[in-house]
Copies of this chain bind each other. A is one copy, B any other.
């Protein structure tokens, strides 16, 4: 085994034109690897794009795509007229997504919602503010528990604007899915919304419902969705015990 020459020959200096992997991605991976192995360090300038064209025998546009890819991923930064530089590792580059949360929702078999309470109620001050209504206006109200294999996973409470002229309530109160609250159907306008995540203390009632001891922590995930004319359409929150969910992310290369 000649790991040195082998890796250099195969991975460092050649683009395999027969590979299914596109050239631009091969180049991005080569550069990423050189950075992670210390050949280029944070702050260092990468070879210029024209140099990379010559070294690898590919056209400028292809090099450009590779660089753009790395820049999008936060691995390098580019500066017009100066060059391309290896980015320093920073906390703020870390991002996390809700994939784990999604997997909670979409465990279809042996999981369902149990409706605790639902109906029409007058908006209190907070709900009115969140939904852009007047205090006392009617809202649809729902409290439910998501169960998997008879175990409570999370608690959900939501308020929807009550509009007698737009009787789409049935689908939005769909018991077995979050359709309408979260996922826009193919015939709907594309909705948009805001999410906010905080850490919170569960109330006694929430802890009871979720089979947790009383002073327990949980994620508080608030959502506001907007519909037609950018008017608030629904507002609510999830309570997800800390043992059911945690977010993971990776930082660096």
A216: Cβ under 8 A from any B Cβ: yes
Say whether A105 contacts B89, CB under 8 Å.
no
Among A137-173, those with CB < 8 Å from B are none
Smallest Cβ-Cβ distance to A90: which chain B residue: B183
Smallest Cβ-Cβ distance to A249: which chain B residue: B195
Q: What is the 8 Å Cβ interface bit string for chain A, positions 177-196, against chain B (1 contact, 0 not)?
A: 00000111111111111111
Q: How many copies, total?
A: 2
Smallest Cβ-Cβ distance to A89: which chain B residue: B184
* In-complex Cβ contact of A89 among B72, B183, B215, B253 (8 A): B183
Classify chain A's interface size: 35 or more
A219: Cβ under 8 A from any B Cβ: yes
Say whether B41 contacts A190, CB under 8 Å.
yes
A251: Cβ under 8 A from any B Cβ: yes
Q: What is the 8 Å Cβ interface bit string for chain A, positions 242-253, against chain B (1 contact, 0 not)?
A: 100011111111
The 5 closest A-B pairs by CB, nearest first: A192-B252, A43-B186, A92-B102, A215-B215, A199-B199
